[in-house]
Amino acid sequence: MARRGLRGIGWLAAALFLLVLAYAAAGMVGGAIPANAGWRAPPEGVRIAVSSNGVHTGLIVPVAAAGVDWRDLVRPEDIADPRYAALDSLEIGWGERTFYLETATWADAKPLTILSAAIGSRRTVMHVDHLRFPAASDDVRHITLRPEEYRRLAAFVRASFGQSAPGTRGWHRTGYFKNDAFYEANGTYSALYTCNTWTGDALKHAGVRVGAWTPFPATVLGWFR
């Protein structure tokens, strides 16, 4: 009986390994298939960026540009030090609440938290940092959008913010540091729709060339230099 039990555990471990491997392979393939394949960046326009901390990706956008002003939604009093609200840009990301609140980096990741989020959760949040627009790097890729493309991107992002009641803002709280905050969000997080999928979908909605399915940071950043 003990031998059968060990054999069963071995088969289960092998099946889980193959499932993870298949998921990783599918994600890389989905991220390599282009959506909006004909898009090319204009020579001038609204400058945004895609950023990654190795776990979460986000969009860095100007506080106000092309008729879009975020200050009605993201307010100085929402962060621990309101002086940071005077900076010129916002980094906005979407994700599962517990995963986001407890996983600033991979070093903070807990298997149970990851598994719970992967199965599916409607407890989602927006994470917003107030910052200066950063230089391009391995973790930050600049993108130039036409004004109409930027407005489509902004509409997608705004629709992701949750509301407790019509015309009101939802739950929010200060974030990891003095310059960031978390807000209630719409949508369901799962292994099929991650924070990185959200970033890719926002860019697709704007009309930007990006992967058809972008579950990992590399499948988003890999499209931009």
C-alpha 86, offset from chain centre:
23
What is the token pair recorded at 187? 């949508």
Burial-class residue 28 by CB neighbours within 10 Å (0-12, 13-18, 19+). Answer: middle
- The whole-number pLDDT of residue 166 equals 55
- The whole-number pLDDT of residue 21 equals 78
Q: How many residues does the chain have?
A: 225
For 218, the 3-state DSSP assignment is helix
Q: Are 179 and 131 contacting, i.e. CB atoms less than 8 angstroms apart?
A: yes
- The whole-number pLDDT of residue 24 equals 80
- The whole-number pLDDT of residue 101 equals 76
C-alpha 178, offset from chain centre:
20
Tens of pLDDT along the chain (225 residues) come to: 555 655 556 666 666 667 777 888 888 899 999 999 999 999 999 999 999 988 889 999 999 999 999 999 999 999 999 999 999 999 999 999 887 777 666 566 666 666 666 677 888 999 999 999 999 999 999 999 999 999 999 999 999 999 765 556 778 889 889 999 999 999 999 989 999 999 999 999 999 999 999 999 999 999 998
pLDDT 10s digits, 75-128: 999 999 999 999 999 999 999 988 777 766 656 666 666 666 667 788 899 999
The whole model's pTM is what?
Answer: 0.87
How far lies 6's CA from each of 9, 60, 98, 134, in Å? 5, 50, 33, 52
- The whole-number pLDDT of residue 100 equals 77
- The whole-number pLDDT of residue 163 equals 79
**Residue 63 CB partners (closer than 8 Å, separation 6+):** 69, 70, 71, 87, 88, 89, 90
Exposure letters 77-102 (e unless 16+ CB within 10 A, then b)? ebbeeeebbeeebbbbbbbbbbbbbe
Phi-psi region of 54 (alpha: psi -120 to 50; beta: other; left: phi over 0): left
- The whole-number pLDDT of residue 99 equals 77
Question: In 3D, which of 208, 198, 219, 159 has the Cα closest to residue 25?
Answer: 219
Radius of gyration (C-alpha) of the chain in whole angstroms? 19
- The whole-number pLDDT of residue 156 equals 98
**Residue 162 CB partners (closer than 8 Å, separation 6+):** 124, 170, 171, 183, 184, 185, 186
pLDDT 10s digits, 160-171: 999 765 556 778
